Structure 1
Amino acid sequence: MNKLIISVTNDLHTDQRVAKVCNTLHNNGYEIILVGRKLKDSKNIHRNYKTKRFKLLFNQGFLFYFEFNFRLFLFLLFSKKNMLLANDLDTLLPNFLISKLQAKKLIFDSHELFSEIPELVHKPRIKSFWVSLENWILPKLKNNYTVCNSIANYYKEKYKVHFKTIKNLPFKKDLKKGRFDFDTKNKKVILYQGAVNIGRGLELIIDSMHFLENHLLVIIGNGDIYKDLQQKVSLEKLDKKVFFLGKKSPEKLQLLTPLADIGISLEEDLGLNYRFVLPNKIFDYIQAEVPVLVANLPEMKQVVADHNVGEIVFNREPKIVAKQIRGMLEKDYSKALKNAKEELIWQQQEAKLLSIFKNAK
């Protein structure tokens, strides 16, 4: 049996992509250990495969990455395995070193262009470290995949290395609806789910709420600007129109997403990482049969163009966005959404994923 150690820097609980990869591999005979970290507010997880979460002294900044990678290196060094799967650049170094020291096959899943994330834009010294690491290791890798064609093409052009595309699609889901803990009667619900960080277009949609009557904005998720947005909403007296629900488990989210009338993904073009983004929330909206309003960025607008499941924002003025939302609510996307949800599912990606591991060099 192939023994595979999979590593990621998050706490495992809400990482749907990694969970899907693990389930597919586990169901096809791989013995898995999934490694991440445990935070103070991390919830217990129960999986069909083994998990390991490090309790760290540091949970942010350089010391976090150093401690996590050092702990991961030691864990990999003394654990039995045939193969390694590194998720993103921030787990790649210890995996790469162990693969060379112990002659183990290494697979790399790039969820994003890590060295181009907006958080590094104003930190040139830190960014230069990640770019140097990328320049050193990526050209040496043989078994790679990523979330979209744009990132795959970027790596091919820059490093002359091949990446396959495994889109972050959801499992096909039956439509089940829960309920919000607040009154939505006679209201249209605009939903954002995902990381509450800079560059996600959340300020724009909040500003647009000033021009939308009988509409509610629901934000599900957490992140760096969560409290700042709450303060913005309070100062602008939008408390009765904008609701923050915090982070939800995938199971609870599955019940809440179908309650929306529109799902938004309005990321800003803050560099290559955001320009090439293809958020899994778009596919979650489609699976919940919720039309999508997306940014004018190549990967996400291609989904809308190919499947006619929503609209693209070409003008980011709040008043114009509000008008576009009102127009969307007058249209019927139900047939297109039902067709798209049959096609855009994880089951369509599994054969390609398994071939990467089966044919790993």
Structure 2
Amino acid sequence: MNYEVILIGRKLPDSLPIHRNYRTIRMKLLFKKKVFFYAEFNIRLFFKLLFIKKDILLSNDLDTLLPNFIISRFFNKKLVYDSHELFTEVGELTHRPFVQKIWKSIEKFIFPKLKNVYTVNSSIANFYHKKYGVKVNVIRNIAPKLHQKSIDLDFAKKIKSNKKMLILQGSGLNIDRGAEEAVKMMQYLDNTILYIIGNGDVFKKLKDLVTNLNLKDKVIIKDKMPYKALMEYTKISDLGLSLDKNTNLNYEYSLPNKIFDYIQAEIPLLVSNRIEVAKLVSENNIGWIINELEPKKLAKKITEIFENKQSYFIAKQNLKTTAKKYCWENEKQQLIKIFQNIK
């Protein structure tokens, strides 16, 4: 749309190199976690926005909204709010009521004043509309078309040999997202390998679990990697996992990015019964929904999935159509409309 884009974020010791066709600014912060990090990040972001040329401010999630809102009012600039999730209901906050209250106060103060808002699914959009009376658009975080769908057979043989391959991927594999149960279920599966790729709060725990259960030949844990490399692993997988629990409202309403990566890779899905995810899988008949995440039951379900070759084939066939429908090339039209009609 001929905008000059500047992306502002933070740089961590393990941050991967970033190569974009627009300008990027990554701040090195003194604090890495919790209240001091958020305080430093918001103050630093405020001063970056204060002295940088801007016509439109785009705030990604509640943790960047306050400085963007203040600057938008101070300079009379348009503000767009992109809510990636139900931020005030994430598990990390529901266990810390005082901190949760602070974020809810910020949201309550700013949200009713917003004019350009979008989020990742209709459940969260309806939640915000009911709470604040603000129209919230839906733009799902859908992966772009995967143009190279062919599989590198040598790579596949090296990674999974002749075994069935399960994948659980994502940059937010935190508590209550089913990763621990996925590792434990591998005790009850033969001729199957599980790849967990990404990062998150439970990664250290997962690695310890693999060691303690002697599952090093069955569970491979890899740190986050560039998207293209990640999709090479996803393409050769036989089943994509998304196992969020209903321990908080954010997970109940979640529609993780990995769902659309699995769809583009055309691999069937096994998902927990969360509202948005289950609806997508059942409406398109591209996988299976499980209500209980007990490791033995997970293993039993996966065994049944691979044994029923007819239903697996149907899911694979349906994914070809689904991948054409759920791609960023289609979804981005909604984003274009918002910026064409910005208020």
Same fold (TM over 0.5): yes
1:173 and 1:182 mapped to 2: Cα distance?
22
Other-structure match for 1:87:
60
Answer whether contact 1:106 1:143 (CA < 8 A) is retained: yes
Deviation at 1:263, TM superposition (A): 0.4
Q: Which runs of 5+ in 2 are unaligned?
A: none
- Paired residue secondary structure (2:231): helix
Answer whether contact 1:176 1:254 (CA < 8 A) is retained: no
* One of 39, 43, 54 as aligned partner of 2:16: 43
Other-structure match for 1:4:
none
Partner amino acid, structure 1, of 2:90: I
User: Are positions 1:314 and 2:291 aligned together?
Assistant: yes
Moved more, 303-312 or 178-187: 178-187
2:217 and 2:342 mapped to 1: Cα distance?
53
1:46 and 1:206 mapped to 2: Cα distance?
34
Partner amino acid, structure 1, of 2:327: I
Deviation at 1:161, TM superposition (A): 1.0
Bigger fraction of residues in helix? 2
Q: Which runs of 5+ in 1 are unaligned?
A: 1-27
Deviation at 1:134, TM superposition (A): 0.8
Partner amino acid, structure 1, of 2:167: L
Answer whether contact 1:148 1:167 (CA < 8 A) is retained: yes
Other-structure match for 2:76:
103
User: Are positions 1:270 and 2:270 aligned together?
Assistant: no
Answer whether contact 2:272 2:292 (CA < 8 A) is retained: no
Answer whether contact 1:177 1:256 (CA < 8 A) is retained: no
User: Are positions 1:155 and 2:132 aligned together?
Assistant: no
Deviation at 1:335, TM superposition (A): 1.1
Other-structure match for 2:326:
344
2:13 and 2:220 mapped to 1: Cα distance?
25
1:73 and 1:352 mapped to 2: Cα distance?
29
1:230 and 1:93 mapped to 2: Cα distance?
37
| Superposition pairs of residues 280-319 of structure 1, within 5 angstroms | 280-319=257-296
List 4+ stretches of structure 1 deviating above 3 A: 180-183
Deviation at 1:156, TM superposition (A): 0.6
1:238 and 1:40 mapped to 2: Cα distance?
29
1:139 and 1:170 mapped to 2: Cα distance?
30
Partner amino acid, structure 1, of 2:115: K
Other-structure match for 1:260:
237
Q: Identity across aligned pairs (percent)?
A: 47
Other-structure match for 1:230:
207
Deviation at 1:181, TM superposition (A): 9.1
Tell me the TM-score normalised to structure 1 length: 0.90
Give aligned pairs, total. Answer: 334
1:176 and 1:133 mapped to 2: Cα distance?
48
User: Are positions 1:239 and 2:216 aligned together?
Assistant: yes
Other-structure match for 2:301:
324
Question: CA RMSD for the aligned pairs?
Answer: 1.3
User: Are positions 1:184 and 2:157 aligned together?
Assistant: no
| Superposition pairs of residues 194-213 of structure 1, within 5 angstroms | 194=170, 195-213=172-190
1:183 and 1:166 mapped to 2: Cα distance?
34
- Paired residue secondary structure (2:5): strand
